Chain A
Amino acid sequence: MIAVWILVAIVVFAALVFFVMYNSLVGKKNQVENAFAGMDTMLKKRYDLIPNLVATVKQYMTHEADTLTKVTELRAKATSGTLSSDEKVDLNNRLGKMLGGIMVAVEAYPDLKASENFQQLQRSLNEIEEQLSASRRAFNASVMDFNNAVEMFPTNIVAGMMGYTRRRMFEIPESERENPNVKELFNA
């Protein structure tokens, strides 16, 4: 009689443990989705800033008209919503590089640099870039958490049953990891 009760207890306990692990994995997966959406929100902030930036800078930076047109084009593409995930990442990396280039080029235009409008924009851009960086870090942290759960024992058993696999962290492409060549930035 006792043996039956012990068996029931073991089964209930195992079910509880399974239930906890299942939920934790789902929670972690959702956290990754959440963080990815967070990155998107920050990127949108950056898109919103660009028209204002281009308008302010265009009047002064007559030599950089090419770059500015390209930036506007890239922005339009990004907000069109027709890109795949990888394409979006690639485009945003290029956009980031270009914006960096513009901010460097401003050094040659003291009038522009001194204008209050531009200084406000510069602060906003600094803030957005830093928040974007924070959102990427948050995404990587949630992916690491998820990957840990998927690969470590005992949750890896449940993950296998649910068909969850490792996800990729947000990586900076090789080209960006090199120190930026300022001359090339101007010609980009």
Chain B
Amino acid sequence: MPSERSFRQYYDEELLPTLQQFEARRQGIVRCFVTTVIVAVVVAGGAGLVTLAAHTSPAIFAVAAVVGVAAVVLAWFLLTRGFVLDFKHAVIAPIVKFCDESLTYSPKTHISRSVFRASRIFQHSIDRYSGEDHVHGKIGATAIEFSEVHAEYKTRHRDSKGRTHTQWHTIFKGLFFIADFNKHFTGCTVVLPDMAERTFGWLGKKLQEWNVARSGQLVKLEDPEFEKLFVVYGDDQIEARYILSPSLMRRITDFRNKTGKPIALSFVGSNVNLAITTGKNMFEPRLFSPLTDFSMATEYLADLGLAVGIVEELNLNTRIWTKA
């Protein structure tokens, strides 16, 4: 990972001119948008006054209000869509290349649904799946791929009047990361955040043992801090321990404590998959504050660093076993 100073230099020399162009464009967009809002409010307000004065039905006001809101939303959509994509190509892509030469960035693609499902971290069936900000490349000896992913499922229910309401629930929203793991293995081992043991202690562990919803056996590991944070299910007890060496358990615990965000891992098909619920939309341009702010650029680099740093954090470049 490049240092703060070299990034500052890169920022001043390469990024700042581009950012200044985008800043001008952004200000234009904001002005346009604010104008649209004012116009919509005036029109709706005017219609409201007319309704009050002429004592006609409130339908005119309602129509004006709806049209106003629709106009505002449409304006926002049209103005920002092109802007965000151009920004990502012009600013985020170079930052990714600066982070590591081998990485390629694609703003509109994402990790495929089948790969996401194949990780077996989330078992719920997916009704809606989307994502963005796809990066892939090779850090040292480890091939990596990551993107933002949003997976949801829907529930339908009928209310008292017989209408069906659809509700969307989030299965996962955050950063999904895949890397080539440094050991050979054949089965599947899943590491999930441990709610039960933290709340219920020994009884929680018993409940986990009886959890038939998860395929695979419960694997009880020796690191107490790791066990407090995570619960492990695996096809094979020995293979799970081969993968989760004491050193790796320590590293996963440290990473979890460092990021402070819920993480889940799985080891399948010779890869390690990591799902981090970041709680924010990464690599987006801020539309209501100056784009030339250096802290914004460092935030992009830090978010990138979080993902790319996983290779270092989990020591994936140590290749002393039979897998090269």
Contacts and interface: CB of A to CB of B under 8 A. Distances in A.
Contacts of A134: 238-239, 241-242, 245
A138 B237 contact: yes
Contacts of B219: 141
A126 B241 contact: no
Given A130-B245, A138-B237, A138-B241, A145 B322 contact: no
B322 A123 contact: yes
Interface in B227-247: 237-239, 241-242, 245
Contacts of A133: 241, 245
B242 A126 contact: no
A127 interface: yes
A137 B242 CA distance: 9
A124 B237 CA distance: 21
Contacts, number: 47
The 3 closest A-B pairs by CB, nearest first: A134-B241, A134-B242, A127-B321
B242 A130 contact: yes
B256 interface: no
Given A138-B237, A138-B238, A141-B237, A124 B322 contact: yes
A141 B222 contact: yes
Interface in A7-66: 35, 38, 42
Contacts of A35: 237-238
A133 B222 CA distance: 13
B213 interface: no
A19 to B, nearest CB: 16
A131 interface: yes
B150 interface: no
B320 interface: yes
A147 interface: no
B183 interface: yes
A120 B221 CA distance: 30
Contacts of B221: 141
Interface residues of A, number: 21
A102 B221 CA distance: 31
Interface residues of B, number: 15
Interface of B: 183-184, 219-222, 237-239, 241-242, 245, 320-322
Interface of A: 35, 38, 42, 120, 122-124, 126-127, 130-131, 133-135, 137-138, 140-142, 144-145
Contact of B321 (A38, A126, A144): A126
A78 B320 CA distance: 27
B237 A142 contact: yes
Contacts of B321: 123, 126-127, 130
A126 B320 CA distance: 7
Contacts of B220: 141, 144-145
A100 to B, nearest CB: 15
Contacts of A130: 183, 242, 245, 321
- Of the candidates B183, B241, B245, the one having the most CB atoms from chain A within 10 angstroms of its own CB is B241
A131 B183 CA distance: 11
A85 to B, nearest CB: 19
Given A38-B238, A137-B241, 15 more contacts: A38-B237, A42-B238, A123-B320, A124-B322, A126-B320, A126-B321, A127-B184, A130-B245, A131-B242, A134-B241, A138-B238, A141-B222, A141-B241, A142-B237, A144-B220
B299 to A, nearest CB: 39
Contacts of B238: 35, 38, 42, 131, 134-135, 138
A137 B322 contact: no
A78 B259 CA distance: 48
Contacts of B184: 127
